[in-house]
Each structure stands twice: as C-alpha cells, then as structure tokens.
Amino acid sequence: MTELAQRACLIAKDSAFNVRDYIENSSNIAYVAVKQCERELDDIEREIDEGLPAAITEVTEAEARQLLACLKFIIDLERIGDLLWSGAQHIQDLSSALPKEDVRVLLEMTGILLRMLEHIYKGFVALDEEPAATVLQKDSDIDQACHAIFRRHLQNISRKRDSDSFKILLIAQAFERAGDHAKNLAEEVVHLVRGHTFRHSSRARLRSE
C-alpha cells in the first residue's frame, strides 16, 4: 500500500510537469500524458480502496496508521490528477492562444505545485516533516497567483466577458484547488510522523511546532 501511494505521488508530480509543458509548449504529447496520469491515479485509488479492508485487519496499530495515511494520500492525489486534467482540457478548448501574462502566471502556479509534490514525496518516503513545512509555506503563493489572474480578468466589470476569459478563470481555480489538496498531503505527512493530526489546526501553529 505504501509503495502504491508513493508511486501515486510520482504520477501526480508527472502530471504537474506535463501540464506545465502543455501550457508552455502546447505539446500534444504532454496533453495525452496528463490524461494518462489521471487514469493511473484512478487505478491506484481503486486498488488501495479494494485492498485496504483486508490489509488493515492484519497489522499493528502503527502499521494501520500507515495504511490509513495511504488511503488519505490517494484520495487527495487522485483529486489533484482530476484537477490538472480539467485544467488541460480547458486550455485545449480555448478559441485562441493563452495571453502571455496568463501563461506566465499559470506556469508559476504549476511550477509551485510541482515543487510541492516533490517535497511531499520526499517527506512521505523519508517520514520527514521538514519538507512538509516547505509545502505549507508555498500554499499561499499559489493562492496569490490565482488571485492575480482573477483580478486581471475581472478588473473591468463593465467589459463583456468572453468564453475564453471564463475558461482561464476555471484553469486558475483548478490549479489553486490542486494546491489545496497538496497542502492536505503535507499535513498528512506531519500527522504520520508525529502520530496525531493537525488537519484542523491553524497553519501558523503547524509551522511553528
């Protein structure tokens, strides 16, 4: 189960990498790769979901905690895969090329997400909460980038909205929500290392402890 969850981390990271490549280079290979990552994450979620009930009855308390962490991990990772695929589809559906300023900000968002997933994988494999703390610090960076896109597209409320502008907002929102799921993963790493949850604690408290 742990190996499956770790592999899912790498697949989600690959998805973020390929979305970034698709934004920057309009690579059809990258677009197809994002879809493949989404399917692989679905398959892993199904495998963990089906195997967990039997596995958890045959382990110690500590091992059960690890198995439950794997379940929580794949739920968030599968959702990240869905959101990245949704973003790629909206890009594909645009009637014209992304504006350069939006490209810049979306590359920033996906770059942050990619680094977050790299730190999550490192912390999960090594059972080290330090990389998770880095992820929590980066969460606000994705939020700020998303807000910048919303401000740019909504700054003139009298301007007629076109469908591409609406789709770009959906893309930014999808990437911002993927960042929220990455934050959940970081909190789960800390939970796994410390043996108690901080999911409902403030971020400031989590960073300081």
CA distance 88 to 110: 11
CA distance 116 to 185: 10
167, 94 contact by CB (below 8 A):
yes
What integer pLDDT is reported at residue 179 of this predicted model? 94
What integer pLDDT is reported at residue 40 of this predicted model? 96
**Structural domain range at position 25:** 2-208
- CATH number of the structural domain spanning residue 198: 1.20.58.220
* Rounded mean pLDDT, 158-172: 78
User: DSSP state, 127?
Assistant: T
137, 207 contact by CB (below 8 A):
yes
Count of domains observed in the chain: 1
- Tell me the CB-side half-sphere exposure of residue 67, using CA atoms within 13 A: 18
CA distance 68 to 88: 31
pLDDT in tens, 57-96: 776 766 777 778 888 889 999 999 999 999 999 999 998 8
One-character DSSP codes across 100-111: HHHHHHHHHHHH
Q: In whole numbers, what is the pLDDT of the chain averaged over residues?
A: 86
Q: Using the Cα atoms of residue 119, residue 121, residue 123 and residue 126 in order, give the sign of their dihedral.
A: negative
Q: Which residues contact 125 (CB under 8 A, 6 or more apart)?
A: 6
CA distance 84 to 79: 9
Whole-model pTM: value is 0.86
What integer pLDDT is reported at residue 197 of this predicted model? 53
175, 142 contact by CB (below 8 A):
yes
pLDDT in tens, 119-146: 999 999 998 888 888 888 787 889 999 9
CA distance 49 to 116: 25
